[in-house]
């Protein structure tokens, strides 16, 4: 029984300790946590790493490759036909063969022509069982060759154009997704800031209305206010209590949403610190457009789509006509009954082979595919231009809104100060009976509205700023490109 009591006591102590985890969070820290720990950040990082290893594979394919091919053992027992000179006819005979082999191949792709050079060396062993037993070794000490399609599609040439562009787009897309995560963090951050501000106003309002109702009761006893005014104060008190309850719920929801987004524990209590506006940020529209054209991954994606469409046009054009391929090799080989002699006095080995494929009748299939590829290329060019115009319009609109929000922010701050002073003065005058209930209620509403407008102005300001960063991938506060301080090997900003 004593152990159970101690266990319950420990649980009762630990649970409040867990529930009291508090975190003071400013906007900069919230964005850092979002880009380090959020699920969106992990997703963006893994998408980038996938593109990174794809590009590494492309670079590796441009280097020589060395392969070892082994057949350690192969046993084959079968019935075959043989000519019997004594009987002067074919007869069936049982045959057993054991073989093994090894080969080493060094190959190198040749991008300009789309062919491949190779250097080979191999050794084979065969032993036959049965009536005529035999053992043989076959060796090709060295063979140098080259093969390619003479008039075919050169995939190597197009990969050399497209793959570096794809990787550059992946890097820019990584930065774009990072800034998109920052933009989301701004929204969650200020949603909680607004909820906490509303909660504080509701709490203060509830305390104030409770005090004012008590004062109203005393003043009503001496006939200083009417019954209608007293009922109004009572109604304000009840409404303030209900508003406080709703504000408490809204704070919990906004706090949980931010904690989940930042990948924090759900029971973390977050206290928001609003950022201070140090000064206006001047962003030139022409400079921003030039930065977007240089850094935004949309432009690189458009180039990739056009290149891939041109590649398809070239492929269908080449495939619509006859094709020829060439394979040539020179080397040495030898056959012997034992391993010692298989590399002695090797004989020369030459191979030249050319194949042709000529389409005679396909009922317009190749021509149709070629025309369709050309139309798709035009569509890609038109879509690229449409996306470019849309992006430029979005950037210019956001720049215009950002300039407006900078002006609104300073006036919203001034409105908060004035509303708080007016409310406090009205409250003091109400206590001494200089103003009526309506004036007091109006001052409260103005104070709450001013506070909400200020936080909303901050939300719009920072949301527009990080959207401009996302579209241009440029830090206008520090004055340098985001890619300059981004470590692609670690997938995060350099601190």
Residue 8, pLDDT score = 42
Give me the pLDDT at residue 493, please: 57
Most confident of 9-13, 139-143, 149-153, 314-318: 139-143
Global confidence as pTM: 0.76
Please tell me the predicted confidence (pLDDT) of residue 133: 79
Strands lying side by side in the sheet with 89-110: 65-84, 89-110, 115-129, 134-149, 323-336, 347-357
pLDDT of the residue at 366: 75
pLDDT at 15 over 60: no
**Tens digit of each residue's pLDDT (9 = 90 or more) over 230-275:** 788 788 888 888 988 998 999 999 999 999 999 988 788 988 888 8
Determine the pLDDT at residue 188: 93
Tabulate helix, strand, coil % of the chain (nearest 5): 60, 25, 15
Q: Do 430 and 485 meet the contact criterion of CB atoms below 8 Å apart?
A: no
Q: Is the pLDDT of residue 120 over 50?
A: yes
Lowest mean pLDDT among 48-52, 98-102, 205-209: 205-209
pLDDT score recorded for residue 131: 65
Number of alpha carbons in the 13 Å side-chain half-sphere of residue 250? 18
Q: Compute φ and ψ for 159, nearest 5 degrees.
A: -60, -35
Of 226-240, 290-304, 390-404, the range with the lowest mean pLDDT is: 226-240
Across residues 130-145, what is the average pLDDT?
84
Q: What is the DSSP secondary-structure string of 8-53?
A: HHHHHHHHHHHHT-EEEEEHHHHHHHHHHHSHHHHHHHHHHHHHHH
Least confident of 46-50, 319-323, 446-450: 319-323
Share of residues in the chain with pLDDT > 70 (%): 91
Between residues 324 and 390, the one the model is more confident about: 390
The stretch 160-177 carries a mean pLDDT of: 91
pLDDT reported for residue 245: 93
**pLDDT greater at residue 347 or residue 468:** 468
What pLDDT does residue 492 have? 60
Tally of helices (H runs) and strands (E runs) in the chain: 9, 12
Residues 6+ apart with CB under 8 A from 164: 55
| pLDDT mean over 437-452 | 80
Q: Which residue has the higher pLDDT, 61 or 269?
A: 269
pLDDT of residue 16: 45
* CB of 281 closer than 8 Å to CB of 468: no
491 pLDDT higher than 70: no
Instruction: Report percent pLDDT > 90 for the chain.
Output: 20
Residue 282 is predicted with a pLDDT of: 82
Rounded CA-CA distance 246/240 in Å is 10
Greater confidence (366 vs 341) lies with 341
Residue 24: left if φ>0, alpha if ψ -120 to 50, beta else—which one? beta
Instruction: Indicate if the pLDDT at residue 344 is higher than 60.
Output: yes
Does the pLDDT at position 452 exceed 80?
Answer: yes
Nearest of 176, 90, 154, 125 to residue 482 by alpha carbon: 176
What is the SS3 assignment for 283? Answer: coil
With 50 as the cut, is the pLDDT of residue 325 above it? yes
Q: Does the CA dihedral 484-489-492-494 come out positive or negative?
A: negative
Range with the poorest average pLDDT among 216-225, 326-335, 449-458: 216-225
**Calpha distance 428→422 (Å, rounded):** 10
Residue 58 CB neighbour total at 10 angstroms? 16
Rounded to whole angstroms, what are the CA distances from 277 to 259, 328, 450, 478? 25, 73, 17, 15
Q: Is the pLDDT of residue 6 over 50?
A: no
Q: Which SS3 state, helix, strand or coil, does residue 330 take? A: strand
177-204 pLDDT per residue, tens:
999 999 999 999 999 998 998 898 888 8
**434 falls in which pLDDT band (50, 70, 90)?**
confident
- Is-contact 405 169, C-beta < 8 A? no
Give me the pLDDT at residue 180, please.
92
């Amino acid at each position: 029984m004593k152990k159970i009591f101690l266990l319950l006591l420990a649980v009762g102590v630990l649970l409040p300790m867990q529930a009291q985890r508090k975190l003071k969070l400013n906007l900069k820290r919230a964005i850092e946590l979002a880009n380090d720990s959020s699920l969106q950040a992990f997703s963006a990082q893994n998408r980038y790493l996938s593109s990174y290893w794809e590009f590494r594979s492309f670079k590796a394919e441009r280097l020589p490759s060395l392969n070892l091919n082994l057949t350690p053992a192969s046993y084959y027992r079968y019935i075959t036909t043989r000519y019997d000179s004594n009987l002067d006819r074919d007869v069936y005979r049982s045959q057993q063969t054991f073989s093994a082999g090894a080969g080493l191949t060094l190959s190198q792709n040749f991008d300009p022509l789309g062919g491949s050079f190779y250097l080979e060396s191999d050794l084979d062993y065969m032993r036959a069982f049965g009536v005529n037993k035999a053992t043989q070794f076959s060796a090709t000490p060295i063979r140098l060759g080259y093969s390619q399609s003479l008039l075919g599609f050169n995939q190597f040439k197009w990969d050399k154009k497209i793959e570096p562009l794809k990787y550059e787009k992946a890097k820019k897309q990584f930065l774009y997704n990072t800034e998109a995560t920052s933009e989301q963090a701004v929204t969650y951050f200020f949603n909680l800031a607004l909820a906490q501000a509303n909660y504080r106003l509701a709490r203060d309002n509830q305390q104030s209305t409770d005090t004012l109702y008590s004062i109203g009761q005393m003043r009503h006893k001496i006939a200083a206010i009417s019954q209608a005014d007293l009922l109004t104060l009572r109604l304000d008190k009840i409404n303030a209590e209900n508003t406080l309850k709703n504000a408490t719920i809204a704070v919990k929801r906004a706090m949980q949403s931010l904690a989940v987004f930042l990948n924090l524990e759900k029971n973390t209590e977050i206290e928001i610190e609003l950022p201070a506006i140090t000064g206006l940020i001047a962003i030139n529209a022409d400079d921003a457009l030039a930065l977007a054209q240089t850094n935004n991954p949309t432009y690189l994606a458009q180039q990739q789509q056009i290149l891939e469409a041109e590649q398809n046009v070239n492929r269908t054009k080449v495939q619509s006509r006859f094709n020829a391929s060439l394979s040539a090799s020179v080397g040495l080989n030898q056959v012997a009954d034992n391993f010692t002699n298989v590399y002695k006095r090797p004989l020369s080995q030459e191979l030249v082979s050319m194949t042709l494929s000529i389409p005679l009748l396909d009922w317009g299939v190749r021509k149709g595919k070629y025309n369709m590829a050309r139309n798709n290329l035009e569509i890609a060019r038109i879509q690229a231009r449409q996306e470019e115009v849309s992006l430029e319009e979005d950037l210019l609109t956001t720049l215009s809104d950002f300039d407006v929000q900078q002006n609104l922010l300073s006036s919203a701050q001034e409105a908060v100060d004035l509303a708080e002073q007016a409310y406090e003065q009205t409250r003091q005058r109400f206590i001494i009976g200089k103003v009526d209930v309506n004036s007091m209620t109006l001052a409260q509403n103005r104070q709450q509205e001013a506070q909400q407008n200020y936080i909303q102005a901050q939300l719009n300001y920072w949301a527009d700023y990080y959207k401009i960063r996302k579209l241009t991938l440029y830090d206008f506060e520090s004055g340098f490109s985001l890619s300059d301080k981004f470590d692609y090997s670690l997938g995060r900003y350099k601190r």
